[in-house]
Amino acid sequence: MKIAFANLAQPATGVAVAFATTGRQLTTSAQALDKQAGGALTRAVKGSKFKGNKGQTLTLMAPAGSKLNRIILVGLGKAKDINDLGMQGLGGKVQANVAASGQTAASVLVDEIADSSLSVTDMAANLAYGARLRAYRFDKYRTKEEADKKPSLKNLRVLCPRSARAKATFAPMDKVADGVCLTRDLVSEPPNVIYPASLAKQARELSKLGVKVEVLGEAQMKKLGMGALLGVGQGSVRESQMVVMRWNGGGRGKGSDPVAFVGKGVTFDTGGISIKPAGGMEDMKWDMGGSGVVIGLMKALAGRKAKANVVGVVGLVENMPDGNAQRPGDIVTSMSGQTIEIINTDAEGRLVLADALHYTVEKFKPKFVVDLATLTGAIIISLGDQHAGLFSNNDTLSERLSKAGEAVNEKVWRLPVGDAYDKQIDSSVADMKNTGGRGAGSITAAQFLQRFTGKTPWAHLDIAGVTWSSKDTDTVPKGGTAFGVRLLDRLVADHYERK
Ligand code: BES
Ligand code: MN
Ligand code: ZN
């Protein structure tokens, strides 16, 4: 779908979308369309339940007196409640509506609204952003879908006053959407296509945007002593990889230490020798979701030329059962020197992150490190699909993440960490074990990670419940959500960019 901005004008053909606020208050453009249609729009409104409440729609087909195929009237809600997320949601709704209609082009008329806290150009830009986010579809392997089942909308025109300004406001949002779409592609691809080396290759593509990308193979990781990560991958015929991405948009000198993001990239998680049951195992293709977010985030930041120094590190492995696979009972030595007794080979994400986190904090001395991982089934029991789990040793970082999450509607909920939980992963034969017993499974997983972050401010996002969605929402079609890209882009934008 293409998106274009232009100044307000009465559209002559196709679909026209206009707005009303609560109380059936038609905007200036909606009134003009009504006039053109000989008052049919206001009559239709009067004969319906349409009040102008946020998200309500009313469709007028083939209005007499104009060449338009349809007019869609959309409720904005109360003028004073108009905000960025609300406009994104409406953009998504409009996109889905027209895409299902068979129409290929639509013009959305965005007017100045008195009492709105959002300027008209911000309204238009956010509407376009929401439409773009909703328009994502992963259909490259569907060779036989009938044409009229595919989304029809090809050209979305957003018409508003000062459209050049709206276009400029939309530009960085468009770059974030590029990152979101890359992440969604990566988590949607099947595990025979996305495996450590091919995912690393996708990350390498970011060098075109000015990201410095370095890929470590098994020989290099062995030299570095990454026994925890390598143990997970040793049962796979696919070579494990670690990718280090650097975006240096923040300049040098005092205060230029980077911020760091680390992602779990298990390209397929069978559980290994502690093998998972067959039902639903195909979902474990998206066990690389954390790494997908880090790669998409780097694309977003580089795309919009963020004025920040950012490191992204992803640990990429495939967890397979095999004659050479890791066993329960094995003891591995991590890069940090700490030894780990393997109790369950299905608790593999923390092993990958142990070495990725240690490497990151040692090598880059970042201001903070945030890791993302589809780490535990337990977080789905705790929080479902509405919040990611947040675990941290730092209140400021936690606050900032919570606020950023609210701002972009990718919400996080903080859970505790502490010494008593930490004891649950003490081992009698090694420094620690990789599972902590039945209770508090998401917390003991976080405690494990914390043992590899030293004194660096750290936060862990357990995204197992939010990485894949079974239903559409206004801006997130079902499938891979890319939860985390918008959140972390916002964290960087709000706190870590040079002005
Ligand atoms: N990748 C899984 C967690 C997961 C489960 C993500 C369901 C998404 C949906 C992880 O590697 C795992 O298997 N965790 C185990 C840990 C247990 C063995 C301590 C779990 O949660 O059952
Ligand atoms: Mn697992
Ligand atoms: Zn896993």
Give 25's contacts (C-beta < 8 A, 6+ positions apart).
52
Check whether 268 has a pLDDT greater than 90: yes
Check whether 255 has a pLDDT greater than 90: no
The alpha helices in 333-484, defined as continuous H runs, are 349-364, 378-383, 395-408, 419-423, 441-450
- Longest CA–CA separation in the chain, Å: 84
DSSP output for 75-102: EEE-GGG--HHHHHHHHHHHHHHHHTTT
- C-alpha to C-alpha distance for 294 and 311, rounded to whole angstroms: 9
What residue ranges line ligand 1, CB within 6 angstroms? 269, 287, 344, 346-349, 374, 376-378, 435, 441, 464
Across the range 105-109, mean pLDDT stands at: 98
The structural domains of the chain, ordered by start, are 2-169 (3.40.220.10), 194-495 (3.40.630.10)
> What H or E segment, with its residue span, contains residue 180?
helix 163-188
Q: What band does 465 get if pLDDT is binned at 50, 70 and 90?
A: very high
Phi-psi region of 180 (alpha: psi -120 to 50; beta: other; left: phi over 0): alpha
pTM beyond 0.95: yes
Ligand 1 atom with the smallest distance to the CA of 344 is: 18
Check whether 315 has a pLDDT greater than 90: yes
How many Å lie between the centroid of ligand 1 and the Cα of residue 375?
A: 6
Give 242's contacts (C-beta < 8 A, 6+ positions apart).
215, 216, 221, 226, 229, 313, 314, 315, 316, 355, 356, 359
Query: pLDDT (tens digit, 9 = 90+) per residue, 8-48?
Result: 999 999 999 999 999 999 999 999 999 999 999 999 999 99
Q: What band does 153 get if pLDDT is binned at 50, 70 and 90?
A: very high
Across the range 80-101, mean pLDDT stands at: 98
Cβ atoms of 343 and 437 closer than 8 Å: no
Q: What band does 266 get if pLDDT is binned at 50, 70 and 90?
A: very high
Which pLDDT score, from 0 to 100, does residue 165 have? Answer: 98
- C-alpha to C-alpha distance for 351 and 343, rounded to whole angstroms: 12
Across the range 81-89, mean pLDDT stands at: 98
DSSP output for 19-36: EEETTTEE-HHHHHHHHH
Map residue 228 onto helix, strand or coil: helix
Which pLDDT score, from 0 to 100, does residue 499 have? Answer: 83
Beta bridge partners of 462: 373, 389
Check whether 65 has a pLDDT greater than 90: no
The residues annotated as belonging to the active site are 276, 350
Residue with tokens 């276009």: 167
Q: Pairing relation of β-strands 259-269 and 241-248?
A: unpaired
How many Å lie between the centroid of ligand 2 and the Cα of residue 319?
A: 8
DSSP output for 85-147: HHHHHHHHHHHHHHHTTT--EEEEE----TT-SS-HHHHHHHHHHHHHHHT----TT--S--G
R_g (Cα) of the chain, nearest Å: 25
Which pLDDT score, from 0 to 100, does residue 467 have? Answer: 99
Which pLDDT score, from 0 to 100, does residue 495 have? Answer: 98
Residues with CB under 5 A from ligand 2 (ion): 269, 346, 348
How many Å lie between the centroid of ligand 3 and the Cα of residue 371?
A: 14
Residue located nearest, by CA, to atom 16 of ligand 1: 347
Check whether 58 has a pLDDT greater than 90: yes
- C-alpha to C-alpha distance for 287 and 430, rounded to whole angstroms: 27
Least Cα distance to 189 among 287, 303, 321, 297 occurs for: 287
Ligand 1 atom with the smallest distance to the CA of 436 is: 19
Across the range 486-498, mean pLDDT stands at: 98
Which pLDDT score, from 0 to 100, does residue 216 have? Answer: 99
- C-alpha to C-alpha distance for 54 and 75, rounded to whole angstroms: 5
Check whether 496 has a pLDDT greater than 90: yes
Q: Which of 346, 433, 444, 467 most suits a substitution to test ligand 1, by most atoms within 8 Å of the C-beta?
A: 346
Mean pLDDT of the chain: 98
Across the range 415-426, mean pLDDT stands at: 98
Query: pLDDT (tens digit, 9 = 90+) per residue, 334-386?
Result: 999 999 999 999 999 999 999 999 999 999 999 999 999 999 999 999 999 99
How many Å lie between the centroid of ligand 3 and the Cα of residue 347?
A: 7
How many Å lie between the centroid of ligand 3 and the Cα of residue 150?
A: 33
- C-alpha to C-alpha distance for 120 and 322, rounded to whole angstroms: 59
Check whether 472 has a pLDDT greater than 90: yes
Q: List the structure tokens of 253.
A: 């000198």
- C-alpha to C-alpha distance for 303 and 125, rounded to whole angstroms: 17
Ligand 1 atom with the smallest distance to the CA of 286 is: 8
Query: pLDDT (tens digit, 9 = 90+) per residue, 429-459?
Result: 999 999 999 999 999 999 999 999 999 999 9
